[in-house]
Amino acid sequence: MSSEIPSDLSYTEAHEWVRRSGDGVVRVGITDHAQSQLGDVVFVQLPTVGDTLAAGDAMGEVESTKSVSDIYAPVGGEVVAVNDGLDAAPELVNSAPYGDGWIVEIRLADGTSLDGLLDADAYRQLADGD
């Protein structure tokens, strides 16, 4: 079964998605493909609001019944919000990866663009190759 891959998002090769939310802020989560590979998510370690990240930095972890996986910052910037709802309900990453299961919001560092990220078609090719 093919994973859900919304066309309005950008993606990373590490299976994170990025959605522009305006004012230089992006919302980040893990993709439907990633959550299905992980299995049942039981814990999400979030970064701290105010953390400064470089693209590619590990910014947290997703722990499932099968494994523990790092979550990587898809872009550089400052963490301006984290999804505290995942503390009580980490399974939202499984049930709503593009909705209530989001992970973090990052204010993009000056000069940062999303140009280096994958579009939905490129990500679909990557995900189908797994």
Q: What is the pLDDT of residue 126?
A: 95
Q: What is the pLDDT of residue 2?
A: 65
Q: What is the pLDDT of residue 3?
A: 83
Mode of pairing for the β-strands spanning 68-72 and 52-53: unpaired
- How far is the C-alpha of 98 from the C-alpha of 61, rounded, in Å? 17
- How far is the C-alpha of 110 from the C-alpha of 101, rounded, in Å? 27
Q: What is the pLDDT of residue 26?
A: 98
- How far is the C-alpha of 86 from the C-alpha of 44, rounded, in Å? 7
Q: What is the pLDDT of residue 22?
A: 86
| Residue type for position 3 | S
Q: Low-confidence residues of the chain, pLDDT below 70?
A: 1-2, 130
Q: What is the pLDDT of residue 130?
A: 67
